Amino acid sequence: MSLIDDFIEGSSTSLTPAYVGNANGFLLETDGFEHDPCHMLETGFVSTGLAEDDSRIFNLDRVQFQFPAALMAMAVSNEILIMALETNHILRIDLQQAHDVEDIEIPRKEVKIYKIFFDPTGRHLLITTEQGENFYMFEKWKKAKLLSKFKGITIESVGWNKSSGSSSDTSTKKILVGSRNGIIYEAEIEPTDEYFKKEEKYCKQVYSLNENLPITGLRLEQFPTSPRKYFIVATTPTRIYQFIGNANPGTDMDGGSMFETLFSKYETNPVFLELPGDLPYSELHFFTPFQELQYQGSAKTFAWLTGPGIYHGNLVFGSQDVGDHVIDSAQLLPYPAATSENDPSTLVPEIPLSIALTEFHLILLYKERVRAICLLNDQIVYEDIIPLKSGEAIRTMTVDNVKNTFWIYTDSSIYELIVSKEDRDVWKLYLEKQMFDTSLQYCKNPAQRDKVLTSQAEHYFSQGRFLLSANYYAQSTVPFEEVALKFVERDERDALRNYLSIKLEKLRRQDLTQKTMIATWLIEIYLSKINLLEDLAASSAGSEDTGYYKAEQRVLEVEFKGFLEQFKANLDKRTTYNLIASHGRMEELLFYATLIGDYDKVISHWIQERNYKQALDVLSKQTSVDLFYKFAPALMENAPYETVDVWMRQTNLNPRNLMPALLKYDHSKAPENVTQNQAIRYLQYVVQQLNNTDPAIHNFLLTLYATQPIRDESTLLQFLATEGKEPHYNMDYALRLCSQNERMQSCVHIYSNMGLFEEAVDLALQHNDLELARINADKPEDDGELRKKLWLKIARHVVEKKQDIKTAMDYLQHCELLKIEDILPFFPDFVLIDDFKDEIYKALEEYNNHIEQLKDDMEEATKSAESIRLDIRELRCRFAIVTSSEKCSICDFPLLTRQFYIFPCQHAFHADCLINRVTTTSNTQKLRLILDLQKQIEKELSNVNRAPDNSNRSRPAPGGLDRLRGLILPEVATHSGDDVAIVVPKVDQLKDELDDLVASECILCGDMMIKTIEKPFINEEESDLLASWAI
């Protein structure tokens, strides 16, 4: 469907003819544009078997429109259609509102319209007449205005200025006008509503072609990279002129000439191409891509209608200057031959009336038909007969360069040539020319793209360019087996490698089996090629080719490593190992093992090669502690110092798992410059820095210290000292180990830690180490008796073994517990006292002082005893006065009715009341003690005969102690509480003890009352009673 079909379809159902006649009685109908399909004589391209679009590229639609008069000229720009009628009327139709037709009349009746020129924006219209009168009409004007400054100029062409596209700018800017007599004018027109102001600012001649031929085509193009530089093309029926130069600066604003200077450079030496012929007319057309830029873009191609043919080519804008050419790759397309009207047997070129240019085609308009020729192969791809009425003559063809629509008109009809999917078969034409890359750009679907890639691959394969061929085969759908066999048969392993690599990259993620197979095959190809290059380099040693082979080998090795890195996930580990190993490529084998994280294999290899530094380098980068444990024995045996360095950097190792390696380590085999035992070095780090408390580790470190060949015990003693009082090693094992290895000082230290100070001193004395014995003798600070004993051992050893009485006497100063008399028994029977007479004098003096102190203490004790006896006698005489009205402080009954207790605070209690209160607040232990005393009293009383009543003793209250017994052990029977007449001393003692428990303090003002502060006023038994009073 054409543009007009779109516009009219919605309006034809609701509108009647929108315009009815004028003074002359003409009737103009706008009742729609109907589709009128024309007969197509040729369909274009032949199918290649691919699923192709059968729709036509070119379709000729007739626009149904009744003209009130013959159509003289027509132009379409930016969807605005202008028609000039023979009656000097101008019809204007906005194709967006096709039902609305505007009719504008030319003011002068005597003129005849020759041509109209419509700018690309669809706003500026120039009308030229046969009489040289020119009119101008702007956008929505209802009347055309005469251009007086253009008087006498018959306009043949106009070069519009693209900078006039702004909607806010109503001026045409600087334009060029080509006249019938070969003169180029520069002009600027600005519409105005002022009556006395002219629209044309100026019209000035800027160039003359010096030939009296019409300027049939004129075009302005700015250089994309230099806005002030212009390229101007002008054509006559036989010549095409090129002008390049800079426009005058500032002339856009001041109204001066813009192109005069540019043309002046060509006054004497014009640049033109002449194609001789006798054709009286000519046309110049341009194609601008990127339609979204509309007319602002730069033209890409051109076509010029001439007598010999159509001259067409490209426009290439660069750094050209005056005298240079912008037209490039131009060629002359001869007109298709047709039968001569005079001689049917003769074929003569058939010259079209008009042409139009698309991106890939030339449209040729003839007297009764229209053709389209493909510019890519110069073939006619379309031809339609135009159904003309009797007497109807074709005028010409016009193009809307903004919307890329094509229009053919006669004196009474309008046709739209609809171009759709013009580039549909372009890929195939470029493919025929073996322009594969360009062909790919125009492919519309995967099938077309595959056809191009396959043809390109076959083309390069036939030329022996196998690497390129492999690249394109891999992108095509040619069966894998077919392509692989092609390269195998030609023994082109490099091309095959390239093909397989690209094919592997294009496989889907789920194609695991195919990926593994291809990747494995590629490994074999890579390795074979690397070995081949290595052999070639070796065989050509000394020649110039050696460097080339080695360089190629290095490149291929890098490529192979990149391949392994990229596709490691698609390779079978075992197969890959076997392949690489079979070719003897150990470096690549280690690289692959590292890639897949098989560090076990890498480290094993370096250890087998006795390259322990490399093994440790790999190991140090690992996070798996299992590798450290596995290779610890071999590395510790062969590189102990470096191995310990690595271990110390790996703080998450469990030293217990490294003990087998440490046990295997033999420090005696270490180099002379390595003095430190590396096992001790590591265990020291673990214990001191990592604060390890594992007994096995501490015992092992102790073993290493104790079994060192040196006699110095300083490091062992330091270790034992740092362990403290609660060591992590086993002290029994340590003692036994140190004893076996004759580590005396360490044994003494361990005895001391075990609290066996006597054994520690004995061992020190056994080895004549008096200082060590003295140190250990002072350690039992809380046991003076033991200290004295230890010091006596030392003194005895000094006197008896050393015969050193003076030193023994010095010990009296070191230990305050020793006296001269303690060590005198150790002295020989006959010895001079000169060495210790001072000590004897001092001792005797101290004894004398001590005796005097004892006398003083005895006198003081005698005085204290006498004072105590006096207090006791006074205490026995204490009494309290009890009145007959005195009451028990607990039950509030008369006190004298039962046995009672009275306290110095004057509180008095019945015995049973006091016992009841005491038992409720006492703990079980106290209650059992009270019961025990009661049982003992009863036992004693049962053994005594009942004596006569003693009137001086009060009778005990019934239920006193018996009740207490019942509270504690209810099941035990109680005895009578009557006083006995005879009271033995033991019973009195027991009763005193019972009184101490029951009546040791007043229950109302003693500690017992203070302890009840936390006891609630209402106990659990009374909680129900309290709840009953709740409201």
Cα separation, 751 vs 798, whole angstroms: 22
Look up residue 521 and give its two tokens: 């095959």
Strands (E), 270-413: 271-274, 283-287, 301-305, 309-315, 327-334, 337-339, 347-349, 354-357, 361-365, 369-374, 380-385, 394-400, 405-410
Q: Nearest Cα to 720, choosing from 739, 741, 736, 706?
A: 706
Q: What is the pLDDT of residues 687-706, one digit of tens each?
A: 988 888 889 999 998 888 88
How crowded is residue 393: how many other Cβ atoms within 10 Å of its Cβ? Answer: 13
Q: Is 974 helix (H, G, I), strand (E, B) or coil?
A: coil
Q: What is the pLDDT of residues 548-604, one digit of tens each?
A: 888 989 999 999 999 999 999 999 999 999 999 999 999 999 999 999 999 999 999
Q: pTM of the predicted model, to two decimals?
A: 0.61
Instruction: Give the strand order in the sheet containing 226-235.
Output: 217-223, 226-235, 239-246, 271-274
Options 2.40.70.10, 2.130.10.10, 2.40.50.180, 3.40.50.2300; CATH of 3-45+53-424? 2.130.10.10
Q: What is the mean pLDDT of the chain?
A: 83
- Average pLDDT value for residue range 739-755: 85
CB distance 32 to 11 below 8 Å: yes
pLDDT score, position 38: 42
Cα separation, 645 vs 628, whole angstroms: 12
Q: How many residues does the chain have?
A: 1031
b (16+ CB within 10 A) / e for 96-112: eebbebebbbbeeeebe
Give 23's pLDDT tier (boundaries 50, 70, 90).
very low
Cα separation, 645 vs 659, whole angstroms: 16
Instruction: Give the strand order in the sheet containing 113-118.
Output: 113-118, 124-129, 134-138, 145-146
Q: Where are the domains of the chain?
A: 3-45+53-424, 427-582, 623-846, 895-1024
Residue of 813 and 139 predicted with greater confidence: 139
Position 800 pLDDT exceeds 70: no
Position 976 pLDDT exceeds 60: no
pLDDT score, position 759: 86
Which residue type occupies 405? T
Look up residue 876 and give its two tokens: 């026995």
Cα separation, 373 vs 494, whole angstroms: 45
Q: What is the pLDDT of residues 764-775, one digit of tens each?
A: 888 877 778 877
Look up residue 862 and give its two tokens: 């005698």
Which residue type occupies 685? Y
Q: Is 840 helix (H, G, I), strand (E, B) or coil?
A: helix
Q: What is the pLDDT of residues 429-464, one digit of tens each?
A: 999 999 999 999 999 999 999 999 999 999 999 999
Parallel, antiparallel, or unpaired: how do β-strands 369-374 and 361-365 relate?
antiparallel
Cα separation, 72 vs 163, whole angstroms: 30
Cα dist. 384→47, 61, 758 in Å?
A: 21, 11, 132
pLDDT score, position 321: 92
- Average pLDDT value for residue range 169-175: 89
CB distance 218 to 158 below 8 Å: yes
Name 55's Cβ contacts closer than 8 Å, sequence gap at least 6: 420, 421
- Which of 234-238, 353-357, 679-683 is least confident? 679-683
Residue of 235 and 673 predicted with greater confidence: 235
Q: Is 117 helix (H, G, I), strand (E, B) or coil?
A: strand
Which residue type occupies 665? Y
Cα separation, 599 vs 618, whole angstroms: 7
Q: Nearest Cα to 240, choosing from 362, 330, 154, 317?
A: 330
Look up residue 942 and give its two tokens: 């049962």
CB distance 220 to 232 below 8 Å: yes
